[in-house]
Amino acid sequence: MNYIKKLDDKLINQIAAGEVVDNPASIVKELIENSIDAKSSNITVNISKGGIKEITVIDDGIGMSGDDLKMAFKRFATSKISSKNDLFNIKTLGFRGEALPSIASVSKLSASSFNKNDSNIIEISGGKIISFKPSNITAGTKIIIKNIFFNVPARKKFLKKDSYEYGKILKVFKTFALSNPHITFHLYNNNKCIYKLKSTNTYNRLLEIFGKSYEGNILEIDLKQDCYHIKGFIGNLSILKQRR
C-alpha cells in the first residue's frame, strides 16, 4: 500500500490559498496589484460586509483575451515572467500565478475581461469552472468575489467582524492610492462612496487621504546618493500626534 500520493488540484489550490488569502484585505491587495500591472488608469473597489460577502474590483486596463482569461486561473500561469532570468528583473507587483486560482478555490468568483474586441466572462465556484461565455464588458477587467471560505469553514471562523475586516481593506486601499497618485481610485463600502480620488500628484493625494491639516505641514524629500533615490514626504512637528 502506498502512503504517499499526489493531492488533487482542488486541494492543492486550497492549500495554496492559505499562503495567498488570509482575509478579504489580502484578496483586495492581489486584485489591485493585477489592475495596476494591467496599466489601468481607473480602479474601482466595491466592498460588501467587510469583503466577506462580496468584493468587486473594476479596472480599465489592457484586459485579457478569452484564452488568457481561462489560463489566468491555472496555477503558475502568468504573463509577467517567462524565464529564469526574469526572476532577477521583476518590475511588476505580482508574478507567482497563484493568487487568482487560489482565490477562486475558496470563493464564488466571476471575471469579465475585454481585449481587442474579445469579451468574455468566466464563473468559478470553489475552484470548479461553472461557465465560460461571451460578455458585454467593453473595456478592462471586472472581478467579483463572493462568500470567501464558503467551502472552508475552518478558515472562515477566523475572520473578524465586518468593521474590522473593512478597516484592513481600507489600509490596503490607502497604501495603493498613495503610492499611485497618477491612477484614479474609487472605493465603495456597502454601496456608500468613501473615496473618489482623481489622478493627481503625490502632494495632493496625501491631502485627499489625510485631510487639509497636512497642507503646509509636510516636507518634500528628494535625495540621490550612489545607486539609491529616496523621494517622498515627511510631516513636521505640527502634525505629530501623541501615542503611547
Q: Quick one: average pLDDT of 45-73?
A: 95
In which band, very low, low, confident or very high, does the pLDDT at 99 lie, cut at 50, 70 and 90?
A: confident
Q: Quick one: average pLDDT of 114-135?
A: 94
The pLDDT of residue 144 is 98
d(CA 109, CA 19): 19
Query: Is the CB of residue 65 less than 8 Å from the CB of residue 111?
Result: no
Is the pLDDT score of 159 beyond 50?
yes
5 or 218, higher pLDDT? 218
The pLDDT of residue 5 is 67
Helix (H) or strand (E) holding 111: strand 108-115
d(CA 213, CA 163): 26
| DSSP 8-class letter at 6 | P
The pLDDT of residue 74 is 82
